[in-house]
Amino acid sequence: MSVPPALEAAWATFAAQEVPPVVGAVAWTNLCTRYGEAHRHYHTYQHLIDLLDLAAARPWRDAGRVQAVIWWHDVIYDPWQRDNEARSAAEAAAALQSWGWPAERRQWVETVIRATARHEPLTGDPDELAFLDMDLAVLARPAEAYDAYAAAIRREYRHVPGSLYRRGRRQVLEAFLQRPHIYFTARARAEWEDAARANLARELNQ
């Protein structure tokens, strides 16, 4: 899978502002390799592009740290394992330390990536809440696009027998529906909450 030019351009902009040139090239190669892995069908280059596009349309306290979360939050994605978020967070922290980022800034990135394991905030920071919302924006897509997302997730877990997958998927969907709100910010609730709930309920009834 070739790297989309839009993604390469986005990295160049981020790297020019946040990354020392030599280590930036190493990081970019690593990210391209990871997000281009053959077993990925949703957690791909396109997922990064979608998040970067959403991020570009939002105000941030620190846009650079949010972009770091976007780039690294799924860098480790092994559907056979349960610690992807923790491993992604650790890899992000190591990279940011090598770039000379201050401890507080890189620790924030690490914590927010860990928060994606349950999609529950760990800092309460507005940037974290908005990122977690963006990462679930896919739930509110039009029905056809949502179905394509759900099918892509199933392909990533094709090693799981159908009955077990359906049970696990049902638990995930029901957990979101049982929340008072799927999204944490007023903007995301206004834009996505109703559509997301409709999609989740529809999938549960299939």
d(CA 165, CA 176): 17
Task: Show me where the domains of the chain are located.
Answer: 5-135, 140-204
Q: Hey, how many other C-beta atoms are within 10 angstroms of the C-beta on 135?
A: 21
pLDDT at position 1 over 80: no
Q: How large a percentage of the chain has pLDDT more than 90?
A: 98
C-alpha distance from residue 22 to each of 3, 29, 30, 99, 163 (Å): 20, 11, 13, 10, 48
124 pLDDT more than 90: yes
Euclidean distance between CA atoms 132 and 113, whole angstroms: 9
Q: What is the pLDDT of residue 94?
A: 97
* pLDDT(70) > 80: yes
Distance, in Å, from the CA atom of 156 to the CA atom of 63, rounded to the nearest integer, reads 30
Cβ atoms of 134 and 54 within 8 Å: the answer is yes
Mean pLDDT along residues 141-166: 98
Q: Are the beta carbons of 204 and 168 closer than 8 angstroms?
A: no
Q: Tell me if the pTM is above 0.85.
A: yes
pLDDT at residue 11, as a whole number? 98
